[in-house]
A and B are shown apart, each in its own frame.
Chain A
Amino acid sequence: MMSDVEKESTAITPPSEWVDKYGDYLYRFALSRLKNPELAADCLQDTFLAGIKALDNFDGRLDIKFWLRGIMRNKIVDQIRKSVRCKIVDIDKEDEGLMESFWFKYSGIATTNPTPWEFNPRKYYDNQEFWIVFKECVENLNEPLREAFTLKMLEDQTTEEICKEMNISTNYLWVLLHRAREQLKLSLTEKWLNRDSN
């Protein structure tokens, strides 16, 4: 009996079936992080090839789909790092002003009175449509806001790592995250509140 259970838990989908079973799911995941379809497809291919190489280390505790997604997360972070490394992140006057502002220096905030949300997102946490809109809004953030936001908020990379890769100061990362949050708030409000008219 025990051996049956063990067999069942270690039964894994053979790599030849990965594309059909998990291809679209993992591709959508990569696309939501990378935005670029070509890069997402390359990332998927690298994930599968790395999965085959590391298959001996698969212990069967997780569903293989989630195990592959774990590999993919690392590939995505590597890909974003690669793309930000080639870019020079410009600091404009407005950003400099923000970093030099009284409130930032003394309280680490941009303003004491931010624009309030026009709706309460918490009300829609159970609504799949809301998350589709959220996903679109994250994908449409301007670069390098999207990269900074994805690495920090969605992939939970440390501030030090992101600053090193993007070659920016921690203060500037704070500015990028602040701008990303503001842009997200605006676009989410606009898209979500006008969803019926589209």
Chain B
Amino acid sequence: MFTCKQVSKTLNNQQFNALPIWKRFVIKLHVKLCVFCGKYNKQVIDNHDLCHQYIRNEDALNEASSCKCFLDESKKATIREKISESLNT
């Protein structure tokens, strides 16, 4: 069984979703039962999950045609020029 400090340290250094399944289980169990670090580390795990889900959704978000953010046409032209220069050398 982990101590509170070990749980906090692990969550600070690694993404919860990337941990081996047994470690996730032990940490979840600790967080569920611990009256000291339980509430805090539950929020840390939730934040890791939030980021993990965001990364999964990020592609669709950047792809969305409804997105108002576009690269400047003038900047696009400059990059096109640089690309053709680079291809010609």
Contact = CB atoms under 8 A, between A and B. Distances in A.
Interface string B1-42: 000110111001101001000000000000000011101110
B86 A134 contact: no
B13 A159 contact: yes
Listed from nearest, the 5 A-B pairs whose CB atoms lie closest are A108-B8, A107-B4, A27-B71, A109-B40, A28-B62
B62 to A, nearest CB: 4
- For the residues of A in contact with B, the DSSP-based class is helix
Given A19-B83, A122-B46, A135-B58, 10 more contacts: A16-B83, A24-B69, A32-B58, A49-B86, A108-B37, A109-B8, A128-B64, A131-B54, A154-B55, A185-B43
Contact of B37 (A25, A107, A173): A107
Contacts of B18: 156
Contacts of A135: 54, 58, 61
Contacts of B53: 125
B37 A112 contact: yes
The CB with the most chain A CB atoms within 10 A, among B39, B58, B71, is that of B71
A111 B78 CA distance: 51
Interface residues of B, number: 48
Interface residues of A, number: 53
Interface string A13-35: 00110111001110111011000
Contacts of B35: 112
Interface of B: 4-5, 7-9, 12-13, 15, 18, 35-37, 39-41, 43-44, 46-51, 53-55, 57-58, 60-64, 67, 69-72, 75-76, 78-80, 82-84, 86-87
A153 B44 CA distance: 11
B50 A114 contact: no
A128 B60 contact: yes
Nearest to A184: B47
A141 interface: no
A19 B76 contact: yes
Contacts of A20: 76
A106 B71 contact: no
Contacts of A79: none
Interface string A140-160: 000000000000011010110
Interface stretch (A2-10, A40-48, A80-88, A91-99): A40-48
